[in-house]
Chains A and B, each alone.
Chain A
Amino acid sequence: MAFVFTFPDVGEGIHEGRVVEWLVAVGDTVAEDQPLLKVETDKAVVDLPSPRAGVVLTLHVAEDAAIEVGDPLLTIGEAGEKADAEAAAGEGTAAPVSGRPAQEAAEARVAAAPTRREGGPPRRPLATPRTRALARKRGVDLERVRGTGPGGRITDADVDRAASGLAEQPAPEAAVRTAAPRGDVSVTEQGEVERVPISHLRKVIASSMATSAHTAAHVTHVDEADVTDLLAEHARIKEALADDSDVRFTLLPFFMKALVAVLKQYPMFNAEVDEEAGEILIKRFYNIGIAVDTPEGLIVPVLRNADRKDMLTIAREVADLASRARSRELSLEELRGGTCTITNIGPLGGVFATPIIHQPQLAIVGLHAIKERPVVVDGQIVIRKMMYLSVSFDHRWIDGADAARFATDLVRLVSAPGLLMVRL
């Protein structure tokens, strides 16, 4: 008997999504739990597994089509069963969904869709021999750099940017360029205009940003840290680790640990407010969100229990989360439950920015560019590596004085790595 598989309610209040890619084609034999298709929802791209074994008889939606919970996705039958048998299976339910723009005139494409499965071709970072040599010289792993050159080529400037500072993240224009490719160009009186469809993720980002901006009373407090000693310590550790570590040890784990130490001191920054119940929920766990710039847009995976992990583990997990965020392979679980968030804007330049709080959290900490600046130490003008740290908080629940204390403490910890050690 043919079975029509509909878009299931995957929870989390998700009602709609978009078909990213079919992993099976008509005629394929599928096993129970075998992934059938990739669906992009508000939160992530997820694989939908097959609820039963059988043969794929019909695909009801095309790649790129918008779908809602309950929409039929495909029909699975017994081996040898014909597609027309499904007519008897469930009246009407197997009818192709129509009326959604992405899906129009796509039936033929679906039928012919090639089944691309796991493991694509080995992609080398696109860089010229000169740029590759520069990357080796500066110790930059090109796999982690997004190119801003033509066709995504990694330029010398991209390598420089990656080499200086915290640099997990590439230049922002790269994201814009790769995210806005396919639009219809029309000529208006003013000039050419390209109409680019808004991606699902972009809509989600837009809505959550607007909600946060309209609810929280945003205030950003900025302080300044002298990270000269921290950088020196980091360089020493990196060298000591070089031989026996497979992970690139960035500065981020230091900031993560310092943040956790300060959150313990100021629990309101690691809290949520239940207005209906009239209660503040103080979290006794430390799940730190990390804002990741991906080609499709901002994604914030969560590093769980940062207080209980050593810095090497944090470095490894952050690298993994960031890389899978860019390839859209994170599970919903990995995007939920953050208690406070770090956004590492420094590598992209700027003096400082005022990020928006990731609801329902109460604070977001911004790490800004590290620059050599002349400062006065003991009456002498000396050159130190300086950095702005920002704390954006919800002034409804947190007072400015506490934010200032919070920032002062954070600055103290990242300025003196020795002090950070005793607070671990």
Chain B
Amino acid sequence: MVVGSVSRGCDVVVIGAGPGGYAAALRAGQLGKDVILVEKNERLGGVCLNVGCIPSKALIHAADLAAEIREGDKLGLHVDGLSVDLPQMVSWKDGIVERLTSGVKFLCDKTGVDVVRGRATLLSDRTLAVEGADERVEIEFANAIIATGSRPMELDGFPFDGERVIGSSEALSLQEVPGRLVVIGAGYIGLELGSVYAKLGSDVSIVEFLPELLPGLDRDVAKVLGRRLKKMGVDLYLEHRAERFADGKVHASGPDEALELDADVVMVSVGRVPNSEDLGLEDVGVATDDKGFITVNDRQETSVPGIYAIGDVAGGMLLAHKAYQEAKVAAEVIAGEPAAFDNVAIPAVIYTDPEVAWTGLTEDEARRQGYEVTTGTFPFSASGRAMSLASTDGFIKAVADASSKQLLGLTAVGRGVSELMGEATLALEMGAFLEDVGYTIHPHPTMSEAVQEAVENALGRAIHILNE
């Protein structure tokens, strides 16, 4: 209930305390600005910390551990009676979330960022109202940064009910491993969480409307992933349109036949939509595209001077690390610094088993853009480190411009390849040539040696494979 109304002023108000929002608030605070951070939820951190990146990775790690233990026989590890206590696992994960979100709160307090709870609505290009639990605050701002993020898209015929038909958020807090889980959508969220439950013992089916897994990604990568999913016992139905959930069955239509899949739980992961409604954007004149994403330039400026947008709500790749970078750009532009989002590459990681990751251009993209492409590949089956990890699935592919030998991108599939993307993206940002990476000593034995070897293979001189 609203019992009072307060009026305040600030240099910068940030709407939404996800990775974009809190990073923008902290950077603006570091730059000496008077900052208010508005968050509608009790916990800071947004989807990423609460119901996204971090909690899903916790569950993925636990599920991987379970799977490895089960497969430990050949390593001489015989474990009987492994049982999965999902409530305990979820509570461990909740502890991580709690630690991280309170860490964000601590940083805000120490940086002088004032957190105000409630829903924000723009009243004009210089004022907004925050409706909190027991007060209404009007904030007069010099600059506003909109960082309200995105949410799972609902699918016709599958209205979320929080129990049987759920989105990714609920899938991270199930109290029981579902007997039969049907995942709709073979994007990265569907594949990650589908794999988790398959490893925890669910009978998992994935229904995908498009004819291929992870469309747009390197086909060789999709092949490795498809093989592994099959081995895990996941049934993949490509080119099937999910129509409705009725009588405990998911009904879908395929190119040849209709499909009925028994499901205890249905997880819908068919994409995300921006949280751009109910903010008063139209009234103030902030332009959005036809999907509702706020349009911004490379300085994160919207169509209204003084109002910025960052992260998922500003479109592009919906990734926390993209939001972090945009957050810094917006805060620095507000502080009068000549910042711009001019990054060469935004890395992307999918925590499937094995992990899939890429940065810069894929081979196909590079060809489409008109490059004469040269590639180099190194399979983990030739890596000593991969063998010692009992994880030889996958490879690394380096993509380069054939004439200049400039590195254009790196695509990887394999255990822990997410950790290799920092190096690869640094190389791209620094404008590295194949030789630059090839002449850099990579520690042995590590998975990162495969980056060096893939690059050397592109130059026709990898050591541990034949260069054909």
Query: Which chain A residues have a beta carbon within 8 Å of chain B's beta carbons?
Result: 114, 116, 119-122, 124, 126-129, 132-133, 136-137, 150-151, 153
Contact = CB atoms under 8 A, between A and B. Distances in A.
Interface in B342-373: 342-344, 366, 369-372
A129 B431 CA distance: 9
Nearest to B337: A137
Contacts of B340: 136
B431 A151 contact: yes
B338 to A, nearest CB: 4
A137 B370 contact: no
B431 A121 contact: no
A116 B371 CA distance: 10
Residue among A121, A124, A128, A132 with most chain B CB within 10 A:
A121
B364 to A, nearest CB: 13
A324 B343 CA distance: 27
A126 B406 contact: yes
B406 A114 contact: no
Contacts of B366: 121
Nearest to B361: A121
B429 interface: yes
A145 to B, nearest CB: 14
B339 A136 contact: yes
B437 to A, nearest CB: 13
Q: Say whether chain B's binding surface is mostly helix, strand, loop, or mixed.
A: loop
B431 A137 contact: no
A140 to B, nearest CB: 11
Contacts of B372: 114, 116
Interface string B390-419: 000000000001001010000000000000
Contact of B404 (A128, A132, A151): A151
Contact of B369 (A122, A128, A132, A153): A122
Contacts of B406: 126, 151
Contact of A137 (B338, B342, B429): B338
B3 interface: no
B370 A132 contact: no
A128 B370 contact: no
Given A121-B369, A136-B340, 20 more contacts: A114-B372, A116-B372, A119-B370, A120-B370, A121-B366, A121-B371, A121-B401, A122-B370, A126-B431, A127-B431, A128-B429, A128-B431, A129-B429, A132-B342, A133-B338, A136-B338, A136-B339, A136-B342, A150-B433, A151-B433
Nearest to B373: A121
A153 B406 CA distance: 11
A129 B401 CA distance: 20
Contacts of B371: 121
Interface string B408-451: 00000000000000000000011101000000000000000000
A121 B430 contact: no
Contacts of A119: 370
Nearest to A138: B338
Contacts of A129: 342-343, 429-430
Nearest to A152: B404
B344 A124 contact: yes
Contacts of A150: 433
A155 to B, nearest CB: 11
A121 B369 CA distance: 5
A121 B338 CA distance: 28
Interface residues of B, number: 18
A128 B431 CA distance: 7
Nearest to A139: B338
Nearest to B368: A121
B370 A121 contact: yes
B372 to A, nearest CB: 7
Nearest to A137: B338
A156 to B, nearest CB: 13
Nearest to A120: B370
A55 B409 CA distance: 38
A116 B403 CA distance: 13
A121 B409 CA distance: 14
Nearest to A151: B433
30 contacts: A116-B372, A119-B370, A120-B370, A121-B366, A121-B369, A121-B370, A121-B371, A121-B401, A122-B369, A122-B370, A126-B406, A128-B429, A128-B431, A129-B342, A129-B429, A129-B430, A132-B342, A133-B338, A133-B339, A136-B338, A136-B339, A136-B340, A136-B342, A137-B338, A150-B433, A151-B404, A151-B406, A151-B431, A151-B433, A153-B431
Interface in B264-312: none
A164 B354 CA distance: 52
A349 B290 CA distance: 52
A114 B402 CA distance: 13
A129 B325 CA distance: 13
Nearest to A142: B342
A132 B339 CA distance: 10
Contacts of B342: 129, 132, 136
Contacts of A128: 429-431
A230 B340 CA distance: 31
Nearest to A150: B433
Nearest to B429: A129
Contacts of B430: 128-129
A126 B433 CA distance: 11
Contacts of A126: 406, 431
A127 B432 CA distance: 10
Contacts of B343: 129
Cβ-closest 4 pairs across A and B = A136-B338, A121-B370, A126-B431, A121-B371
Interface in B233-251: none
A137 B339 CA distance: 8
A119 B429 CA distance: 24
A137 B333 CA distance: 12
Contacts of A116: 372
Nearest to A114: B372
Contacts of B344: 124
Contacts of B401: 121
Contacts of A120: 370
Contacts of A122: 369-370
Interface string B370-391: 1110000000000000000000
A229 B433 CA distance: 45
A402 to B, nearest CB: 48
Residue among B342, B369, B433 with most chain A CB within 10 A:
B342
A242 to B, nearest CB: 13
A136 to B, nearest CB: 4
A132 B340 CA distance: 9
A133 B430 CA distance: 13
Interface in B451-465: none
Nearest to B342: A132
A96 to B, nearest CB: 26
A42 to B, nearest CB: 27
A400 B371 CA distance: 56
A212 to B, nearest CB: 36
Residue among B369, B430, B431 with most chain A CB within 10 A:
B431
A128 B428 CA distance: 9
A128 B430 CA distance: 4
A127 to B, nearest CB: 7
Contacts of B431: 126-128, 151, 153
Nearest to B405: A151
Residue among A119, A120, A126 with most chain B CB within 10 A:
A126
B432 to A, nearest CB: 9
A291 B343 CA distance: 34
A242 B397 CA distance: 44
B457 to A, nearest CB: 20
B201 to A, nearest CB: 46
A352 B339 CA distance: 37
Nearest to A125: B431
